Amino acid sequence: AQKVTQAQTEISVVEKEDVTLDCVYETRDTTYYLFWYKQPPSGELVFLIRRNSFDEQNEISGRYSWNFQKSTSSFNFTITASQVVDSAVYFCALVTYSGAGSYQLTFGKGTKLSVIP
Amino acid sequence: DVKVTQSSRYLVKRTGEKVFLECVQDMDHENMFWYRQDPGLGLRLIYFSYDVKMKEKGDIPEGYSVSREKKERFSLILESASTNQTSMYLCASSPGLSDTQYFGPGTRLTVL
């Protein structure tokens, strides 16, 4: 069975601080897909990033960056210079799919980020 | 923009009632999903559908069934609602099973 662990249940930071949200995953498949989603207080999940297991390149998008390390089975998410609008619950997710009947999707339990002005 | 809509934002039902939650997507996606979200448990997959009339069980299908008669519409059915099915229900769609999912706003269901 696969697993996604977001060990940080809640994090509070002061505005403009940097913050890293951890995601550790477990799977026996060699092909898999990792995602981060944001759930603001309004409730609707918003896609942030998708990575496949063959692409270990780190990615930066504005104040957001992601560090994918297969050696440690981690896919961590960093927000630089945090803002109040970053306050949300962030979910990491793992998908494995190698043909009919093999689909598995697992979400982590989420990390609630509060950015204090 | 992809749009996923759910029939109700809030719903209150009584124990034993049959409950229908409807989800519609407008982007011709092949795949649709139903989740429930509970505090401290994250999102858990109930059922998904990869084609019209095709469905597969997720991690927690007990007490639920689904229907997909048209590509754009995916219904979650609680045959006999129970209080432990009080939860937030989220619907999503995606073009491929390993692709990004697009979520609806959710239905908060309370079973009394």
Digit-coded pLDDT (tens) for A45-92:
999 999 999 988 888 899 999 999 999 999 999 999 999 999 999 999
Specify burial of residue A107 (Cβ count, 10 A radius: 0-12, 13-18, 19+): buried
Q: Which of A22, A23, A16, A4 is nearest to A86 (CA)?
A: A16
Q: Is B50 within 8 Å of B97 (Cβ atoms)? A: yes
Q: Is A66 within 8 Å of A58 (Cβ atoms)? A: yes
pLDDT of residue B36: 97
pLDDT of residue B2: 63
Specify burial of residue B48 (Cβ count, 10 A radius: 0-12, 13-18, 19+): buried
pLDDT of residue B1: 67
Q: Is A29 within 8 Å of A73 (Cβ atoms)? A: no
Q: State the count of interchain CB pairs (< 8 A) between A and B.
A: 49
Q: What is the mean pLDDT of residues A107-115?
A: 96
The DSSP code for B107 is E
> Would the pLDDT of B85 be above 90?
yes
Q: Which residues contact B80 (CB under 8 A, 6 or more apart)?
A: B16, B17, B18, B63
Q: Which two tokens mark B62?
A: 């007990």
Q: Smallest CA–CA separation between A94 and chain B, in Å? A: 9
Q: Is A65 within 8 Å of A8 (Cβ atoms)? A: no
More confident residue, A55 or A11: A11
Euclidean distance between CA atoms B76 and A1, whole angstroms = 25
- Do the chains contact at B40 and A43, CB–CB below 8 Å? no
B100 touches chain A (CB under 8 A): yes
pLDDT of residue A98: 77
